[in-house]
Amino acid sequence: MNILLLGSGGREHALSWKLAQSPDCDKLWAAPGNPGIAQDAECVALDATDHAAVIEFCRANAIGLVVIGPEAPLVDGLADSLRAEGIDTFGPSKQAAQLEGSKSFTKELCDRAGIPTARYRRCTSLEQAWGALKRFDPPFVLKADGLAAGKGVVIAESREEAQHALSEMFDGRFGSAGSEVVIEQFLTGEEASFFALTDGVSIVPIGTAQDHKRVGEGDTGPNTGGMGAYSPAPVLTQALQDRAMREIIEPTVRTMREEGMPYSGVLYAGLMLTGDGPQLIEYNARFGDPECQVLMMRLESDLVELMQACAQGRLGEIAPPRLSDDFALTVVMAAQGYPGTPKTGGAIGLDGAESNSAKVFHAGTKMAGDTLVSSGGRVLNVTARGASATEAQRNAYAAVDAVDFPDGFCRRDIGQREVRRETHG
Ligand code: AMP
Ligand code: GLY
């Protein structure tokens, strides 16, 4: 079968690496891809917002499966356009992708389905939001309703800070994403991510992970798209995973189906493990980046078979995903300046970085003549496996140290919380 993968980041490199290993993958295309993805796929320039062009490409190249990596084309309804033409697609419909695209949609779904999540107020004007603040105690959690590239959440320590942030949100700081705001009760606990595949009816877990969102060591400094991640997340014990499935994932998938907007694809639940059990912080309608990189390192099953079964509503007919028992850990190497304006164009040398246990996924790279150079904020995802988090961390940093990227930086403490637990119990 010929497959088209859409996207260009580290997540998509991990997906292309895994898709290309499948015996069912005859020819893999990627649009637009990147130099790492180009090792697994033929990269083509296709504009994912031009649905007709994507459909035309699929026809011309006998594409049997389209895999949509990032959230924007999902929220834009690309999966609907492709399915309307009879093209099997991995990824939810526009309506179902509201689980990521609209915070208030998800909160209201939680109300209807009885899913544990933080108490909230939905506000459509600044006056209303300032009024609603009175119903909450600090710290205040303020969320712009729509897609804001992972930057739409403000945690304000004081009422004044919250009022200021709300003014900015309604003033258009996050564009149209901020025309509606959700104010939430602050939850305390440890955060962990849970991933499940679903075809709208059957649901199968595909691993757990924890990431590091802050740019600085010790989880300090501004938020980023993620500076590193590891899988599994042992804090999500089997008992907690079963509970998250029963109380959060299953009622979500069931309610979406019953309400006529069945969800198919990967459902990525950001959970807070509170004293009262797991609570939903947010949903994403796609794999996490860089969480996907660690999940793909551990996935032993055929990804093409799993994704095709999701797309065709046959997930219940095949074996559930199998993940290796070991750990995978990924370190993001970013360009100086990130998460502000990154310095792009810096040369990158990867000789000797990869090994049996280490793989370098490309996130923001491009070729300048014969030289690999950085082209974005997050540049490389140096990913390694090991029997424990400690060993995976050691292997990942050994690979990081073999990378020659003078204009880059990374955190040296990815996975430290887990390593500490392994050391001190
Ligand atoms: P989100 O984009 O909804 O995942 O939020 C970004 C980050 O803000 C999360 O990863 C949490 O660290 C934090 N956060 C979001 N909602 C809450 C909440 N209700 N209580 C505490 N922290 C939260
Ligand atoms: N790493 C967080 C995300 O992909 O949303």
Q: What is the 154 CA–ligand 1 centroid distance (Å)?
A: 8
Q: Which amino acid is at 179?
A: S
pTM (2 d.p.): 0.95
Residue ID of nearest Cα to ligand 1 atom 8: 153
pLDDT tens digits for the chain (425 residues)? 999 999 999 999 999 999 999 999 999 999 999 999 999 999 999 999 999 999 999 999 999 999 999 999 999 999 999 999 999 999 999 999 999 999 899 999 999 999 999 999 999 999 999 899 999 999 999 988 877 665 678 899 999 999 999 998 888 776 665 578 999 999 999 999 999 999 999 999 999 999 999 999 999 998 898 999 999 999 999 999 999 999 999 999 999 999 999 999 999 999 999 999 999 999 999 999 999 999 999 999 999 999 999 999 999 999 999 999 999 999 999 999 999 999 999 999 999 999 999 999 999 999 999 999 999 999 999 999 999 999 999 999 999 999 999 999 999 999 999 999 999 87
Ligand 1, CB cutoff 6 Å, lining residues: 118, 141, 143, 153, 184, 186-187, 191, 270, 281-282
Residue ID of nearest Cα to ligand 2 atom 2: 288
Q: What is the 179 CA–ligand 2 centroid distance (Å)?
A: 23
Ligand 2 atom with least separation from CA of 287? 4
Residue ID of nearest Cα to ligand 1 atom 16: 281
Ligand nearest to the CA of 225: 2
Q: What is the 117 CA–ligand 1 centroid distance (Å)?
A: 11
Ligand 2, CB cutoff 6 Å, lining residues: 150, 211, 225-226, 284, 288-289, 291
Q: What is the 186 CA–ligand 1 centroid distance (Å)?
A: 8
Ligand 1 atom with least separation from CA of 279? 19
